[in-house]
Amino acid sequence: MTKTPTGKNTSGRGQRELRVRVKTAKGRKLSSTLWLERQLNDPYVQRAKKEGYRGRAAFKILELDDKYRFLVPGARVVDLGCAPGGWCQVAVERVNALGEKSGKKRGTVLGVDLQEVDPIPGAEIHQLDFLTDDADEKVKGWLGGPADVVMSDMAAAASGNQQVDHLRIITLCEHAAWFAFDVLEEGGTFVAKVLAGGAEQELMTILKKNFTKVANVKPPASRRDSSEKFVVAQGFRGKRHEATDAEDQDIDPDHE
């Protein structure tokens, strides 16, 4: 199980929390200074550097997998929008893509992204737009069959308008879901980031129609001031179903 970093100094009276303050440099915006200060004081950022992950987002998928157990040895995993690669790194470890776990099945990790991504040991990375017509067939060809897990930490470029950004990421997530329907093995899992804002209901309805269980969760590694959540849809029904109703589905509105 992953442990939540505390970011605290446990020695000394009162166990005072150490915090780095950053002064606004000439020519640098206040927003940039605040971002830098937050990064320097974020225990997940510090831990990612220490443990060799490419970003703090790695702990989000670690925490989700600790709870829902979808990255199992031998699984075939597709990571959509995989840059910079932290989710792929976690998947490689957990599905035994390097074959380092004796007696365990060896899995496959396939990352795709619009931009070039630095190589990740144990993962196969392709520069690909997953929205192109033949992307699903290419992915299944690279995998050697259907996927057990399709996951996405993608987010559309921020516009500065909260409502517009919400709609953009929900639309992106819907496209990722339809892609998952085309490449997932029956019983497979779909994991994706969404933003709370009201427009995600249609997405949830689609997922509830196509999976036996859908969880809506905010992992501890997700910043408290962020509106991001993650959907974890498990038990793919094996055939694309249109979203006409949501009866008899199992929903877990889990907000950790």
129 is in an annotated binding site: yes
Report the C-alpha gap between 132 and 152 in whole angstroms: 17
225 is in an annotated binding site: no
Report the C-alpha gap between 148 and 237 in whole angstroms: 12
220, 226, 227, 228: CA torsion to nearest 10: -50
153 is in an annotated binding site: yes
User: Does the CA dihedral 88-91-93-97 come out positive or negative?
Assistant: negative
Catalytic residue flag (residue 23):
no
Q: Which of 26, 29, 138, 193 is catalytic?
A: 193
Enumerate the active-site residues: 193
Binding-site positions for S-adenosyl-L-methionine: 85, 87, 113, 129, 153
Binding-site annotation, residues: 85, 87, 113, 129, 153
